[in-house]
Structure 1
């Protein structure tokens, strides 16, 4: 998965990008914590500055406004999320499609457990917030997700794994939708609807059941 940031007008200023990496990371984490806890509309630049022990003016020198700061955070989040998926995609390139999907879901689950604030940010955008960047950034998420799944489906087709009547775009759409619902059920108990994904003890069994359904629908019989 490539970087989500496609705008040549980078949200961070040269002043910020010239800071030591450790300071950039502190700003990113403080802003991520604020946006994931309060959403874009209620996030406070003052609180971020206080958490960092810097003047609010320094924050605006780095980014110009709250929208650009959010854009920067979103770019970093996307890169942070994409890296383990890219790694598992490459590491499983020679595996059957079902196994690649299983490994992708396990990787996503581990990421969500390690970085709960990242998914909180996404759910706020998806369910709660309306702001100028919302449609643009969410459409990029979907574009990058479908690109990821398309690469797996195309690899499977090239190896002759898929049934000949499988609609490629429908398969990609289904896997993209599966990943999104997997996110929701894994992190939000009220979105689980009884399947059990929110229960750590049932995670492997739930993933096996999902992969079995996919294989029955997509994979050609031996």
Structure 2
């Protein structure tokens, strides 16, 4: 756990960002076990003791990075939730897909850590971190789904929890396909230009529309 986050957060903003940037890059490149605190402090230009003063242990540093990443990812989703309440449910999901792509492109190292966590069984605290990702996704999606069911946009016979699982799975695979060529498959989403990505996101949400709404 973090030893003294307030001390770290009282540092100049630029120094905080440099520490987090270099630490995130190290974990993304080498994974948790092979990540080196020595390499991090050398690139940042601080004493090793200072890093341990802020975070206690390497685990504490990673825990802080993870929490910081979750907070960053919440911001664009909160913006979508708060500014699209008058929009069609599927338009909100489409915007959420594109916001996720934007976040991954802006923070590729954070997403790379997530993928390592997802596919490496020996990743420390894996169940805790992945469980938190899924809980955050549920917290975002479930109110959208229940509101759309109440308004008649979605079928009223849907199981909200199953709908959350379904949408979370689709969104997670969309991001993976956009980022990892081996996980792309037949839709050719990997590393596409913005126009193609938007077209694919729209196609996905239209397919969801046909499956989750009552036929007219």
Match of 1:216 among 201, 204, 210: 210
2:82 matches 1:95? no
Aligned residues of 1:34 and 1:44 also touching (Cα < 8 A): yes
Q: TM-score, normalised by structure 1?
A: 0.90
Separation of aligned partners in 1, 2:20 and 2:207: 39
Q: Is the 8 A contact 2:32 2:123 kept in 1?
A: yes
| 1:202 pairs with one of 196, 200, 209 | 196
Q: Deviation at 1:11?
A: 5.3
**Residue segments in structure 2 that go unaligned for 5+ positions in a row:** none
Unaligned runs of 5+ in 1: 1-8
* 1:108 partner SS: helix
- Provide the C-alpha distance between the structure 2 equivalents of 1:158 and 1:110, rounded to a whole number of angstroms: 30
Q: Does the CA contact (< 8 Å) of 1:12 and 1:68 recur in 2?
A: no
My pick for the range that moved more, 193-202 or 24-33, is 193-202
Contact 1:31 1:48 in 2 (8 A): yes
Higher relative contact order (CA 8 A, sep 6+): 1
Q: Which one of 95, 101, 109 corresponds to residue 101 of structure 2?
A: 109
- Distance in structure 2 (CA, Å) of the matches to 1:157 and 1:164: 5
Per the TM alignment, residue 18 of structure 1 is displaced from its structure 2 partner at its CA by 2.4
- Checking the alignment, whether the CA contact within 8 Å between 1:145 and 1:176 is kept in structure 2 is yes
Task: Name the counterpart of 2:10.
Answer: 18
For residues 218 and 95 of structure 1, the distance between their equivalents in structure 2, rounded to whole angstroms, comes to 17
Q: Which of 41, 50, 57 is residue 49 of structure 2 equivalent to?
A: 57
Describe the SS at the equivalent of 2:185: coil
DSSP 3-state at the match of 1:93 = coil
1:73 is aligned, of 32, 52, 65, to 65
1:12 and 1:127 map into 2 onto residues whose CA distance is 31
Q: Conserved in 2, the CA contact under 8 Å of 1:11 and 1:71? A: no
- What RMSD over aligned residues (CA atoms) do the two structures have, in Å? 1.6
Alignment check: 8 A CA contact 2:145 2:160 kept: yes
